[in-house]
Amino acid sequence: MKHSLKTGLSFGLTSGIITTLGLMVGLNSSTHSKLVVIGGILTIAIADGFSDALGIHVSEESENKHTKKEIWESTIYTFLFKFIFALIFIIPIVLFQLSTAIIISVIWGLSLLGIFSFYIAKEQKAEPWMMVIEHLVIAFIVIFMTHCVGDWIGSTFS
């Protein structure tokens, strides 16, 4: 797989899933509003997608070992994958009640993250289950913390 595509896919998928799930869970815990959660997902897809793409752009430039074309490809791929992986979480929100959609989204997102982590580990000839567990534990921490913060905000400011 081409370096720029691999960079954009791995960063966009991971960030798109973890950031979006954290935002969704936190917003749901604090507002219980479909409209707010959908607005948050769209905001993450656009604003954080561009932010992450610029971060990859600057990071690749700072390595001083990639061509301009590779840097721009990584930038574009990062935005596209972050945008796509964030937006897929709108589907369950539209199709189901919010509480059910959040559960479906968490299962879906963690499954994708686990599968991708397994693939990366196999490619690196590393212990797949250790990498999968490591990545899923980090995702669970984000989800748990944003849920707690959302509960606190909902109970304090409502």
The 10s digit of each residue's pLDDT in 108-130 is 999 999 999 999 999 999 999 99
Lookup: tokens for 47:
């604003």
Interatomic CA distance for residues 75 and 94, integer angstroms = 30
Query: Which pLDDT score is estimated for 11?
Result: 94
Query: Which pLDDT score is estimated for 140?
Result: 97
- With tokens 């993450």, the residue in question is 44
The 10s digit of each residue's pLDDT in 66-113 is 999 999 999 999 999 999 999 999 999 999 999 999 999 999 999 999
Query: Which pLDDT score is estimated for 95?
Result: 98
Indicate the pLDDT class of residue 158, thresholds 50, 70 and 90. confident
- Tell whether pTM > 0.85: yes
The 10s digit of each residue's pLDDT in 76-89 is 999 999 999 999 99
Q: CA triplet 11, 144, 146: central angle to 5 degrees?
A: 75
Is the distance from CB of 85 to CB of 17 less than 8 angstroms? yes
Domain ranges in the chain are 3-157
